[in-house]
Amino acid sequence: MRYGFVAAVVLSCVIGCAHGEQEKPSGVEMFDALFRSIDYPLARESRCQMTTTPGNDRELLLRDYVLLMLSMTYENERNVSLSSKCSSAKSEEGSDGIIDVWDCELNLVEYDHSGEFLTSATIMFAVPKEGSDVLPGSLRCF
């Protein structure tokens, strides 16, 4: 019985590996990729532009967007929901053609006491399935 289980596990790995299936990143891996890119300049990301941050005239970084996004929750008497996920996707990468990626997102949504939507902020980014870093040019902020 024990050998049958081991054989089934090995066979499923061989079949999965042969077809190039990639395991979805865990939440820790997703946030690790995001936080390792926290000092990335937003000027390099056309879909994640901020014009200003309070009291700051320096080059804007991903950390500034995350800071403003999370500051919505500080001593807030409204209801705030934070969620994250990754899904399988494709990304066009110049001369490399189309590559398989994990398209990940971090969402923060604010509601009033009656549950009515007030505002939201989202960060989306791609992580190559054959890597662990945020893909340059894939950052999107809403």
Q: What is the pLDDT along the chain (142 residues), one digit of tens a residue?
A: 333 333 333 323 333 333 456 788 999 999 999 999 888 888 888 888 766 555 656 678 888 888 888 887 777 778 889 999 999 999 887 676 888 999 999 999 999 888 899 889 899 999 999 888 898 888 898 8
As given in the structure block, the two tokens for residue 47 are: 């879909």
Quick one: pLDDT at residue 7?
31
In this prediction, residue 42 carries a pLDDT of: 84
Predicted local confidence at residue 136, as pLDDT: 86
Give every strand in the sheet of 98-111, ordered side by side. Answer: 79-92, 98-111, 117-128, 140-141
Structure tokens at 127: 């992580």
The residue written with tokens 């820790």 in the block is: 28
- To 10 degrees, the CA torsion angle through 42, 45, 124, 129? -120
